[in-house]
Amino acid sequence: GLVSCGSGFFLQNATDARAALAMVRDASDVLALLLEGGRTTVAGRLAGAFRNIGRDRIADDIVKTMQTADYDIREKDPFESTINLILPAREQSPYVNRIYLMWQQMREPILKQFPAAPGRPSDIAAYLKAADDIYVTDAYHSLSIEGYRVSPELIERVRSGEWNPDENEDDREHRNALAARGYWQAYQAVRESVRKVLEGENPGAVSDDDHGDWYREMFGPSVTAGLLRTADLAGYRNDQVYIRRSMHVPPRYEAVRDCMPAFFDLLREEPEPSVRVVLGHFVFVYIHPYMDGNGRIGRFLMNVMLAAGGYPWTVIPLEKRDDYMDALEKGSVEQDIALFAIFLGRLVSESF
């Protein structure tokens, strides 16, 4: 464990190291090993590491106990930098600790790379109309990114009400049409969430309250058609999920129940609109709370955060899918969010 890690581990794997440190609830977990081997150098390094993440009590206990045992201990912080973050004192999930740490470490690159928020618009009706005007484009690209074979004509047919699953068997069984119908229904729910944040409600709280509705609307048509079980609308996943062609493995399903409240707490408390936009999307898909639909809901969430900052509704185009996925992958695997912030920032700037 931590006692066996050399100084290089803390430099090269800072997020993992801090997440592991945060799991230690009491100095006794490590002191037995330190005392047994008289490991003064390691004790000094761990004391400095615990103090770095705000666990002063554990750091003090290590130093005092080693000194009481007549060991000469010199505390040394093995990390290159400090972060202004106090992790939940009693949180045991390493996934939750990782999310808190990533959020804090990723804020600064986002603030440097993402355009400043213009501020909430005064004309709510005009903002919503602008979003409605690009709905077909948004739906086409968002569904196509996920591999659905849709056309603007199909999306328009669904939106206009010409899609009739009760009388048309092709409509009822056509996976792509069901996806288009679900996207339209979800958009209606998201649109109401956008209205709430434009009226001044906290965007993190709104998304926390409403994202389950977006999900249910998105997959309701597939349940009605019998392609999904009613139980599939219940909520967060109950199985492990893997992302095609990605090195990132989302948290185990048991951890999702811990991660999502922590995520929405961070979103609710985040003062910077740009950080809410980038990390709202990124952390949601990092957790991957649902068995399906995470990308679409992540992009809806991004646009709710954009609205709260006064940015325009922004479409991630199909032709930039590879750049989009590469940027998400770099953030997920290397904890380097700059590329994703730059990618989204350019699209937002082009949307004004």
Q: Which residues are catalytic?
A: 288
Q: Which two tokens stand for residue 20?
A: 């592991």
> Closest Cα partner for 173 from 99, 227, 123, 131?
227
Report whether 37 belongs to an annotated binding site. Answer: no
For residue 51, the SS3 value is: helix
Kindly write down the DSSP assignment for every residue of 217-283, as one continuous string: HHHHHHHHTTSS-GGGGSSS-SS----TT-S--PPPHHHHHHHHHHHHHHHHH---HHHHHHHHHHH
Q: Is 167 left (phi over 0), alpha (psi -120 to 50) or beta?
A: alpha
Q: Is 235 annotated as a binding residue?
A: no
Q: Is 70 exposed, middle or buried (0-12, 13-18, 19+ CB in 10 A)?
A: exposed
Say if residue 294 carries a ligand binding annotation.
Answer: yes
Residue 8 annotated as binding site: no
Residue 133, annotated as binding a ligand: no
Q: Which of 5, 1, 7 is nearest to 78 (CA)?
A: 7
C-beta neighbour count of 15 within 10 angstroms: 15
Q: Is 70 annotated as a binding residue?
A: no
| Residues in the annotated binding site | 292-299
| Residues in the annotated binding site for ATP | 292-299
